[in-house]
Amino acid sequence: MLRMIALTITVMFVSAGLALAVSPGKVLEFKNSSMGTVKFDGAVHKKATANCKDCHNDGMFPKMKQGTVKITMEQIYAGKLCGVCHNGKKAFEAKANCQRCHIPAKK
Ligand code: HEC
Ligand code: HEC
Ligand code: HEC
């Protein structure tokens, strides 16, 4: 019994450690838009933001898993999701800087 508990706790710690290791050191690629792939650099955002909860909260990206939230420009322009910061105040404005996020597909 005790060993089972110890094992469970170990597994919990290991998975927490893995989860923590992912986003900040990783670049997520969002490839659904015709404007071109969006690269989201975890390291840049870790430096630029105070806390995982700045993004991983109920109103934005609740899950630490890619593909759980559908991101549209309408929402970004309305100040939601990436647009919470990319509004020209906390970070560069989305409307004026398409290609700082979207990398045009090569022809
Ligand atoms: C600036 C916003 C932002 C911050 C800050 C942020 N994340 Fe994320 N993270 C995201 C977005 C966006 C996704 C993709 C969510 C989706 O597609 O539904 C994501 C996904 C993840 C994933 C899943 C990656 C994958 O390959 O599926 C992990 C793990 C993660 N974040 C961990 C963290 C941790 C730990 C922190 C704090 C150190 C953190 N994130 C801070 C925006 C952020
Ligand atoms: C919590 C605030 C916040 C959120 C949310 C956020 N960003 Fe950022 N982002 C920043 C800041 C701050 C910078 C760096 C300052 C700047 O370049 O204006 C930055 C920089 C970037 C850069 C430039 C990276 C580089 O290499 O210089 C890209 C691309 C980017 N963000 C994409 C995104 C995308 C895509 C999302 C949504 C999935 C997102 N960001 C959500 C704050 C945020
Ligand atoms: C802060 C980063 C960022 C900037 C700046 C940005 N986008 Fe996006 N855009 C995204 C993300 C993230 C997605 C979702 C991509 C996905 O799901 O694969 C997206 C999706 C889209 C889509 C497909 C979904 C939809 O809403 O129709 C289009 C079209 C688009 N962007 C056009 C633009 C144009 C035009 C500009 C400049 C005026 C722009 N984007 C600037 C991050 C950005």
- Integer Rg of the chain from CA: 17
**Per the structure block, which two tokens stand in for 17?**
């450690």
Question: Regarding predicted confidence, which is higher, 48 or 106?
Answer: 48
Ligand 1 centroid, distance to 34 Cα (angstroms): 23
| pLDDT tens column, 19-57 | 443 466 799 999 999 999 999 999 999 988 889 999 999
- Gap from CA of 38 to ligand 3 centroid (Å): 8
Which ligand neighbours the alpha carbon of 88 most closely?
Answer: 2
CA within 13 Å, CB half, 44: 7
Q: Establish whether residue 49 lines the binding site of ligand 2, counting it when its CB lies within 6 angstroms of any ligand atom.
A: yes
Contact 70, 91 (CB under 8 A): no
- Which of the ligands is closest to the CA of residue 69? 1
Average pLDDT over every residue of 69-88: 97
Q: Is 76 in the pocket of ligand 2 (CB under 6 A)?
A: no
